[in-house]
Amino acid sequence: MNIVIVGGGTAGITTAARLRNSLDKSFEISVIEPSKYHYYQPYWTLNGAGIGTKEETRKLTKEVMPHQVSWIQDRCIKINPDKNEVECEKEGIIKYDILVVAPGIQINWDQIKGLKEAMGKDGVCSNYSYEYVDYTWKFLQELDHGSALFTFPNSPLKCGGAPQKIMYLVEDYLRKHGKRNNVEIEFTSPGQAIFGVEKYKKSLEKIIKERDIKTHFQINLERIDGINKKAFFRDLQTNQLIEKEYSFIHVVPPMSAPDFLINSKLLDETGWIDVDKHTFQHQKYQNVFSLGDVSNAPTAKTGAAIRKQAPVVAENIVKFINKRSDFNREYNGYTSCPIVTGYGQLILAEFDYDGKPCETFPFDQSKPRWSMYFLKAHILPLVYWHGMLKGRM
């Protein structure tokens, strides 16, 4: 039996490892992934504030590929679930018995006019790319006056807390270096609040007030004029165009499922892989499963969510192979968002599909703590490289 996994990111590798640990060698498991490197992306927020180096977040894909799993270093260009086929650029048609779709999320840099041309110049930066993250740290060190803007996209995104994490680190850096009084800090978002879960929202609103951070909701970034250092936002209530000048701007572009899935029969009407939110089996094609950022499971798109999703997916695939109908339905939407609120301070937000806190530790995790920062900075990378990607945790 041939199991094909599209995507060698967090979801793909973790699922491949768990399946390899569960199935005998008669089952062929393949991962289609074009990238030479695999990245631990959660650390890029810290890299953007001068903590660690981005090189530490990268390993060769061949080093993280599970043993006895075939790596097809190619790009998927089409999936035909009616014929049980995946089409790749070089390999052509690849047949499968079971398919796992986990290609992650696509960042659409070109959907903000002028952004690609401005990136890395005159204060325009983003932590959402290995290529760009160094610019954040460079421009932060140069920032000593004017306005610092932080944007949030008008789309689902990976790590919904990341757009504001870097804001708190920038504010803390400026305060520690005696520059804070000369820089106005503003967070802009098409949403209606700083965070969707009430318990953590209250704590973050308190921090924002104490640090004199301005917030402007229900506006969406449309264009960057890098030469004149201006950003243009659309007011989603009045349709008015709002112009803001900046000295520093951290931009998070809109995101979507990868282009090769456009017009795919696997997508729902919103553009994401249509799965049962508890089992991750496709709603129409029983031999197709999907998890991670590309699925339509209504939870935050984070690595922590994948850590809980992957065991459910692997177990259900084994049950599907054995023609069992008692699928694991235990996934309740758990996700985690470690919100860095400054150097050495972090709120560990954990919650489920209903927005109910699902906290791991026996204390109030809505309060910024050094211990939770230590967890993010030093423990979670080890969990990732040596636990998740090995199919152990």
337 annotated active-site: yes
Q: Are 80 and 266 in contact (CB under 8 A)?
A: no
| Cross-strand pairs, 30 | 4, 70
Q: Are 126 and 167 in contact (CB under 8 A)?
A: no
- Active-site choice (88, 125, 159, 358): 159
d(CA 272, CA 258): 9
In the chain, which residues fall in CATH 3.50.50.60? 2-105+257-331, 109-254
Comparing CA positions, the residue from 57, 60, 54, 67 lying closest to residue 33 is 60
Task: Count the alpha carbons within 13 Å of 132 in the hemisphere toward its beta carbon.
Answer: 22
Report field, pTM of the whole predicted structure over 0.75: yes
- Domain spanning 2-105+257-331: CATH 3.30.2320.80: no
Phi, psi torsion values for 349, nearest 5 degrees: -85, 125
N-term to C-term CA, the chain: 26
Task: For the sheet with 92-95, list strands across it.
Answer: 76-80, 85-88, 92-95
Q: Print pLDDT tens along the chain (393 aa).
A: 999 999 999 999 999 999 999 999 999 999 999 999 999 999 999 999 999 999 999 999 999 999 999 999 999 999 999 999 999 999 999 999 999 999 999 999 999 999 999 999 999 999 999 999 999 999 999 999 999 999 999 999 999 999 999 999 999 999 999 999 999 999 999 999 999 999 999 999 999 999 999 999 999 999 999 999 999 999 999 999 999 999 999 999 999 999 999 999 999 999 999 999 999 999 999 999 999 999 999 999 999 999 999 999 999 999 999 999 999 999 999 999 999 999 999 999 999 999 999 999 999 999 999 999 999 999 999 999 999 999 998
- Active-site choice (76, 88, 337, 358): 337
d(CA 303, CA 335): 8
Q: Is beta strand 255-256 parallel, antiparallel or unpaired with respect to 288-290?
A: unpaired
159 annotated active-site: yes
> Alpha helices, DSSP H only, in 28-100?
44-47, 61-64
d(CA 250, CA 138): 12
Tell the CATH topology of 109-254.
Answer: FAD/NAD(P)-binding domain (3.50.50)
